[in-house]
Chain A
Amino acid sequence: MDAVHTISDFQHKIDSDLNIEPKDVMPDKYRTHLIRQMSQHAHSEVIGMQPEGNWITRAPSLRAKQILLAKIQDEGGHGLYLYSATETLGISRDELIQQLHEGKAKYSNIFNYPALTWADIGAIGWLVDGAAIVNQVSLQRTSYGPYARAMFRICKEESFHQRQGYEIMANMMKGTAAQREMAQDAMNRWWWPSLMMFGPHDSDSPHTGDAFQYKIKRKSNDELRQKFIDKTVQQAEVIGLTIPDPSLKWNEEKESYDHGEINWDEFKSVISGNGPCNKQRMDHHIKYHQEGAWVREAVNAYAQRTQRAEAN
Chain B
Amino acid sequence: MDFDYSVEQNLLRDTLASYLADHYDFETRRAAVAAPAGWRPKIWADLAERLNLLGAPFPEEFGGLGGGAVENAIVMEELGKALVVEPYLGTVVIGGGLLKQAGGALAAQWLPRVIAGEVVLAFAGAERQARYDLGQVATTATPRNGGYVLDGRKTGVTGGPWASHFLVTARTGAGLSLLLVDAQAEGITRSDYPTIDGGRASDLVFEQVLVPADRLLGAEGGALPLVERVADEAVCALCAEAVGAMRRMLAETVVYASQRKQFGAPLASFQVLQHRMADMFTALEQSAALTLVATMKLDRPADERALAASAAKAQVDKAAKFVGESAVQIHGGMGITEELSLGHYFRRCTAIAAQFGNADFHLRRYADLSLAAA
- Is B a genuine binding partner of A? no
B→A interface (CB under 8 Å): none
